[in-house]
Amino acid sequence: MMYINPEGGAFVLKEKDASRSLLGGVLILGAGNLAVKLIGLFFKIPLSRQLGDLGMGYFNTGYTVYSWLFLVGCTGFPVAVSMLVSEAIATEKDDRNGARRVLFTSLLFLFVIGGAGCLLLLLFADRIALRIGNPGSAAAIASIAPAVLFCSLSGGIRGYFQGKKRMGPTAVSQLIEAVLKLALGIGFARRALVMGYALPYAAAAAIRGVTVGCAASSVFLFFELLFERERVPIKYKGRKREQSGGVSRRLFRLAMPVTFSAFVTSVTGLIDLLFVMKRLVASGMTVDGATALFGNYTTLAVPFFNLPGILISPIATGVVPYVSGDLARGDGVEADKRCRSALRFAAVVSIPAAIALGVFGERILSLFFLPGSAALAAPTLAVLSPGIVFLALTTVSSSILQARGRAWITVVAMLLGSAVKVAGGYYLIGVPRVGIYGAAIGTVLCYAVAASVDLIALSVGQKKRLGVGEVFRPILPAALSFSLGFLLLTMVPDRTSAFSTLLLLSVSGALYLPLSFLFGSVKREDVGSIPFLKWFFDRKSLKRTE
């Protein structure tokens, strides 16, 4: 039931102390991300049926430009806000004014940055689309421009709540954004097609649903701030209040490396957008053929490549305020323990996902998309699948390095990875026999290099290091669980049906967790704090003592 909570905010479920633990925060963000990803998937399925691969090429071009600009201008500030707020809470539990000062300072800069990005897309949409090599996407680029401003402001407020270890507002706001995107985006696109508009304008109509969803999400977060009620502190335990100028300088010191790291990370998507279609055309394809192939690649293969991020992203987001708080208190042992558990879970989640999408990609894609589109995307997804593991390790290790104040290492890692992607991808895409697979190979190499650099840097200074064997230990239980699941399909009459695919995934998933315990890739300390498993382990320990 939703209500105005005088101590926790408006319109969200009451957050108990347990929900502010690392595990509770990860579970809240994970549930929110799962809902958002599922809604996003159900958004693209009917949308791809309406617009086709060519229309989705226009849509995804506009969305990629928006994503790149948002990441470049706005990613660093939410992380910096989260770190500074968590530090203030860890050292002075009642420093409400300090936390609010960080928030308002960041919102000022985010308004300027987001407004500049919005104007850039509105005024130069035609030039940007022409520069990319996809002139038909100009309307989509202009339609999504206001979302840059709204999402910039939302990001700052989410960072504030995450720093206070309140993950509920982030999850609810993301859900609002996704639901409106689904309902309005499909409705706008359908109406545009019925009225006889061409595909570029129908794609632009669909992308307006994203803009409206971002605006509604911002409104919710501002109401959440408005109804937040906390006691104003009388004493600051002898510490002098930090002025706005000091907050600004610290905010920039933390935000700029993270922003630059996000810039380099976003370059990997921008690289695809800038030269994939041009190189495909140079290899002998027509413009429409290259656009359709790029639309298939970005609509089917890339989203499923990013799908394991449903569980990886909450780990990366949630670990930052906790590690920052541990280090602010001088508890390096607890910080190292959180880091090892986060990396171990990244491997446990990403390795079976890579095997499933790499081996059974066409089966899985066929559950959601047309058979022809699924068959076209499956080989590309198989090439991408090893990168799922490297991307997960890069995401979590980068967040840990940011929380430890070593964010510039992630910039160097992604610079090296992007250089490899540019050199390898540019050459391979132009080879007729390789084509679009060259983009996938370049992406895998990019994250392999970045993950290696991050993990090497992270291992320096830690007393207990996470070994390579421990990271890749889930390979054996994952391979065994899918082998047993596939063996079960020999008993099913129709092995190509949707039912057989769901049976394979269900059985393999059910076998994976116990096999992971058996082979030691999941440890009791990793899941012992989960309520049901904690009860199970405590009961088991009690029986042994009796």
Residue 4 within any structural domain of the chain: no
Which DSSP letter does residue 287 get?
Answer: H
Residue 217 forms part of a structural domain: yes
Q: Are the beta carbons of 309 and 326 closer than 8 angstroms?
A: no
Q: Is residue 530 part of a domain?
A: yes
> Are 168 and 15 contacting, i.e. CB atoms less than 8 angstroms apart?
yes
Q: What total of structural domains would you count in the chain?
A: 2
Strand partners, 9: 5
430 plus 532 within the same structural domain: no
479: CB partners within 8 A, 6+ apart: 355
d(CA 194, CA 440) in angstroms, rounded, equals 36
Residue 2 lies in a domain: no
User: Does 364 lie in the same domain as 506?
Assistant: no
Indicate whether 478 and 460 sit together in one domain.
no
Asked, for residue 239, whether it belongs to a domain, the answer is no
Question: What separation in angstroms does the CA of 519 have from each of 348, 464, 466, 468?
Answer: 12, 21, 17, 15
- Check whether residue 389 and residue 468 sit in a common domain: yes
In sequence order, which residues have a C-beta less than 8 Å from that of residue 224 and are 6 or more positions away?
Answer: 9, 10, 11, 12, 157, 161, 169, 173
Residue 238, domain member (yes or no): no
483 and 468, same domain (yes or no)? no
71 and 117 share a domain? yes
Identify whether 546 is part of a domain: no
Place of tokens 């919710």: 220
Q: What is the pLDDT along the chain (546 residues), one digit of tens a residue?
A: 333 343 344 434 344 443 445 556 666 776 777 777 777 767 777 888 888 878 888 888 888 888 777 776 667 778 778 888 877 776 655 455 667 777 888 888 888 888 988 998 889 888 888 887 788 888 888 888 898 899 889 888 988 888 887 888 888 888 888 888 888 888 888 888 888 888 888 888 888 888 998 999 999 999 988 887 554 333 334 344 455 556 667 777 777 777 776 676 666 666 666 778 888 888 788 888 888 888 888 888 888 898 887 788 777 877 777 787 777 777 777 777 778 878 888 888 899 999 999 989 888 898 888 888 888 888 999 999 999 999 999 988 888 888 887 878 888 898 898 889 888 888 888 888 888 888 889 889 999 999 999 988 888 766 666 666 777 888 899 999 999 888 887 777 777 778 888 888 888 888 988 888 888 777 666 554 444 444 444 555 545 444
As a whole number of angstroms, the distance between CA 36 and CA 172 comes to 10
Closest CA to 351 of 248, 470, 245: 470
213: Cβ–Cβ under 8 A, 6 or more apart, which residues? 176, 177, 178, 179, 180, 181, 184
Q: Are residues 287 and 420 in the same domain?
A: yes
CA angle at 290 for the pair 438 and 367, rounded to the nearest 5°: 80
pLDDT at position 466 is: 64
Contacts of 540 (CB under 8 A, 6+ apart): none
Is residue 25 domain-shared with residue 93, that is, in the same domain?
Answer: yes
Domain for residue 190, yes or no? yes
Residues near 449 by Cβ (< 8 Å), separated by ≥ 6?
413, 416, 417, 420
With CA atoms as reference, report the closest residue to 295 among 104, 472, 137: 137
Q: Does residue 212 share a domain with residue 112? A: yes
Q: Do 45 and 119 reside in the same domain of the chain?
A: yes
Which one of 456, 472, 488 terminates a domain?
Answer: 472
The pTM (predicted TM-score) of the whole model is 0.72
Q: Which of 148, 147, 169, 149 is nearest to 158 (CA)?
A: 169
Note down the domain range covering 499. Answer: 473-540
Q: Which residues fall within 8 angstroms of residue 99, CB to CB, at 6 or more apart?
A: 84, 85, 88, 89, 160, 163, 164
Q: What pLDDT was estimated at residue 16?
A: 47
Please indicate, yes or no, whether residues 264 and 340 belong to a single structural domain of this protein: yes
Write out the DSSP string of 293-323.
HHHHIIIIIHHHHHTTHHHHHHHHHHHHHHH
Last residue of a domain, one of 472, 488, 520: 472
Q: Which of 423, 444, 472 is the last residue of a domain?
A: 472
Is the CB of residue 216 less than 8 Å from the CB of residue 153? Answer: no
Q: Are 454 and 491 found together in one domain?
A: no
Residue 70 CA: distances (Å) to CA of 144, 211, 251: 11, 13, 18
